[in-house]
């Protein structure tokens, strides 16, 4: 069991790991993928977003910012979400690219003729294969090669302090906020205009 100093060190180590991952992810982004995604957002009549669990929360934050930009945006699964059409764009967020609800939503969208943009760590996943546009974001793909905790400490191999999908999710949050910043520039929007659409009740 960690003492207070140990807890602080582990927190700092986790924070450093996440920051390093974000910096590395920025360098791995492909301009063609990012530009294609931004063009798809700008070219769509309406934008629909889908994600499950923590990815669902992150894609909702993206939807909120799109709304602040004046883009007609909807969240799949909400009771007031209208029907998809072929001039819309579906944005699906899934680290694994295998989340069943996101995949089934994309299959329905594909049948309608809706364009699909997928943000994932796995460009060969089921979800990515349905996409018209893919943005690959690095996530946690490696597991410890040495199973014993004590043996890992001796050789200096440390297991990630960011559990499960955390690295993908944090990267997706920052990436999508960065896309919003790009959209602000392309659309000539100022922060005051976004604030005017912010919830006031």
Catalytic residue positions? 169
**CB 37, CB 120: distance < 8 Å:** no
**Dist CA 145 CA 69 (whole Å):** 45
Task: Give the HSE-up count for residue 94: Cα atoms under 13 Å, Cβ half-sphere.
Answer: 31
Overall residue count recorded for the chain in this entry: 201
Q: Which DSSP symbol is given to 125?
A: S
Identify the H or E element spanning 35: helix 31-43
- Describe the strand order of the beta sheet including 133-136 as a list of residue ranges: 73-75, 47-50, 89-93, 115-120, 133-136
């Amino acid at each position: 069991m960690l003492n207070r100093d140990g807890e602080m060190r582990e927190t700092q180590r986790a924070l450093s790991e996440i920051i390093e991952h974000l910096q590395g992810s920025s360098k791995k982004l492909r301009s063609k993928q990012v530009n294609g995604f931004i063009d798809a957002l700008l070219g769509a009549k309406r934008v629909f977003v889908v994600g499950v669990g923590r990815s669902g929360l992150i894609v909702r934050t993206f939807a909120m910012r799109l709304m602040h930009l004046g883009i007609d945006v909807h969240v799949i699964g909400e009771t007031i979400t209208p029907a998809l059409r072929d001039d819309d764009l579906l944005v699906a967020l899934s680290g694994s690219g295998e989340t069943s609800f996101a995949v089934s939503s994309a299959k329905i969208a594909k049948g309608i003729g809706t364009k699909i943009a997928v943000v994932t760590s796995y460009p060969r996943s089921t979800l990515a294969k349905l996409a018209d546009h893919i943005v690959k974001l690095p996530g946690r793909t490696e597991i410890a090669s040495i199973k014993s905790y004590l043996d890992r400490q001796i050789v200096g191999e440390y297991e990630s302090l960011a559990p499960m999908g955390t690295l993908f999710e944090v990267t997706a949050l920052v990436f999508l906020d960065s896309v919003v910043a790009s959209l602000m520039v392309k659309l000539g929007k100022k922060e005051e205009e976004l604030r005017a659409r912010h919830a006031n009740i």
